[in-house]
Chains A and B, each alone.
Chain A
Amino acid sequence: MKNSRKIKAAIGIFSLNVSIFLTISFLAIFLIVIFSKGFSVLSWEFISTSPRKYMTEGGIYPAIVGTFWLTLISVGFALPFGVLTAIFLTSYAKPYWLVRIVRTAINTLAGVPSIIFGLFGLTVFVNLFHFDVSLLSGALTLGILALPVIINNTEEAIRTVPNDFIEASLALGATQRQTILRVILPTAFPNILTGTIISIGRVAGETAPILFTAATFYTRQLPRSVFDEVMALPYHIYALLTEGSHAEKQVPIAYGTAVILLLLVLFVSTIAIVIRYKIRKKRKW
């Protein structure tokens, strides 16, 4: 009896170790393959020049620039909405039915497949608003996709602000708006920043929403206005693998692009994780 209990426990814990081992090795193989195949094509020229000869040669500079602008504009668009909505949910939160509806809307937005965001962008921004396939259409689509992430992170950040601070501020005669702007937001700022950085990582890697709203396969030009089509890193990987006819030349470029995208996303997420870790250590309240 006692032995069978011990054996069961040993088998159970062994299987947990197997699952963590399998997961880590899968992911390790994945990362090793991408990096080992991609590193060989990396060079200064690769990230600083435009593609040549129908994508079979040259660099990915326009895609880097495109991803930069898509990310910047989309997060810049979503951040004010996100922070204000989080303020509504934490500080005003009335009437109750509105809070319920807003929450359901946010949860639903967070779960809608990204391809549907792409269709929405196509219908509304590209066709209805006549922004056409452009940086603007893509960035707005991505911004709405990022909104729930930003709202949830900001709300969490605001909830970590101790009630003591809020009471002290109100007791000194501050209004609710003054308390929000001068006490709550500054105190929550580092955490809001972390959440925003995480959403940048998400947005930069999305492909499906920009398929029909912003991305173009091949252009040697950088966008001159928000109404231009753009290249983007994730779409570029997809395009290199599925279009064109020189697979043997395009696949290495795709690996190289994947490394750049991965480094970008991992770098950005690492910054966020490090900031959060530091805040937790430094926090005195």
Chain B
Amino acid sequence: MVEKKAHIKTENLNLWFDNKHVLHNVNFPVYDKKVTALIGPSGCGKSTLLRSFNRMNCLIPTCQTKGKIFLNGKNIYENGQDLTQIRAQVGMVFQRPNPFPKSIYDNIAFGLKIQGKNKNFIKEKVVQSLKDAWLWDEVQDRLNASAFSLSGGQQQRLCIARALANQPDILLLDEPTSALDPQSTAKIEELCLSLKEKVTILIVTHNIAQAGRISDYTAFMYLGELIEFGKTEQVFTVPKNKKTEAYLEGVFG
């Protein structure tokens, strides 16, 4: 139990869109340098929960949040927080690969450029991030090519590299492989396993098997509530809750 250190956790998190209560009193820790998977049927609020970690939900005018999310001991929902700083600290990768219509290099340099970092530092970080995202070998001789010249799987790894360049404390992955073919999916899964040495990962996935393959911890959500949280092994083999068991057996999905 010594390994359990969590610099990131939610405390009584509640969220509404208009009058619709989407998240109910969610409490769970995201352990350092581990992969935590969020699973559950569609519409259960897992993506909304993920988007709470960098306050992306705040872009929707009707969204209201109560409760806390701690990032390195600081509650990001406290008044007067600098959203841009929080988002720079939290990396996010979306369902569909969404590179900017810029070059490969400029995509990855984007986050650092807007922070006004110096050129040499940016160059170094771009190379490092591409290597960390296993893309360097494929693109090193065409960094100035358009990001759209890459395949779907490569584009998604580019988006991972782009998020890594900011040196985030946590990487949020929102069903990152749902738009990809099986081969690219396998590569991204392997990449996640290697990345957890460097960065904490929270992944939303629709694919139960994927959660089983790559995560250390699993959180199961249903109708906006966190039903069960525990080590993946335990959740998958001896779930404590009937609903978890039913979901894993494919009763609803």
Contact = CB atoms under 8 A, between A and B. Distances in A.
Do any CB atoms of chain A lie under 8 A from CB atoms of chain B in the complex? Answer: yes
B221 interface: no
Interface in B75-94: 84-92, 94
Given A164-B94, A173-B87, A284-B148, A187 B110 contact: no
Interface in A233-285: 284-285
B88 A172 contact: yes
Contact of B110 (A162, A174, A175): A174
Contacts of B54: 171
Contact of A172 (B59, B96, B102, B114): B114
A169 B84 CA distance: 10
Interface stretch (B65-73, B129-137, B158-166, B197-205): B158-166
Interface in B224-245: none
A174 B114 contact: yes
A168 B98 contact: yes
A173 B148 contact: no
Contacts of A171: 54, 56, 87, 90-92, 94, 163
A174 B84 contact: yes
Nearest to A179: B114
B101 A187 contact: yes
B114 A182 contact: yes
Interface in B98-141: 98-102, 110-111, 113-115
A165 interface: yes
B129 to A, nearest CB: 12
A170 interface: yes
A124 interface: no
A55 to B, nearest CB: 52
Given A172-B166, A183-B100, A167 B56 contact: yes
B94 A167 contact: yes
Contacts of A178: 114
B94 A168 contact: yes
B229 to A, nearest CB: 25
A168 B84 contact: no
A181 to B, nearest CB: 10
Contacts, number: 68
Contacts of A172: 87-88, 91, 110-111, 114, 162-163, 166
Contacts of A183: 100
A170 B100 CA distance: 12
Contacts of A187: 100-101
A55 B59 CA distance: 63
Nearest to B162: A172
Nearest to A174: B114
Interface in A150-181: 162, 164-165, 167-175, 178
A173 B166 contact: yes
A173 B85 contact: yes
A165 B84 CA distance: 16
A168 B59 CA distance: 12
Contacts of A162: 98
Contacts of B101: 165, 186-187, 284-285
Among A164, A168, A175, A182, chain B packs the most CB atoms within 10 A around the CB of A168
Among A167, A171, A182, A285, chain B packs the most CB atoms within 10 A around the CB of A171
B60 to A, nearest CB: 11
Given A165-B98, A168-B94, A171-B87, 6 more contacts: A171-B54, A171-B92, A172-B166, A174-B110, A175-B84, A284-B101
29 contacts: A162-B98, A164-B96, A164-B98, A165-B98, A165-B100, A165-B101, A168-B98, A168-B162, A170-B59, A170-B87, A171-B90, A171-B94, A172-B88, A172-B110, A172-B114, A172-B163, A172-B166, A173-B85, A173-B86, A173-B88, A173-B166, A174-B84, A175-B114, A182-B113, A186-B101, A186-B102, A187-B101, A284-B101, A284-B148
The 5 closest A-B pairs by CB, nearest first: A173-B88, A164-B98, A172-B111, A171-B92, A173-B87
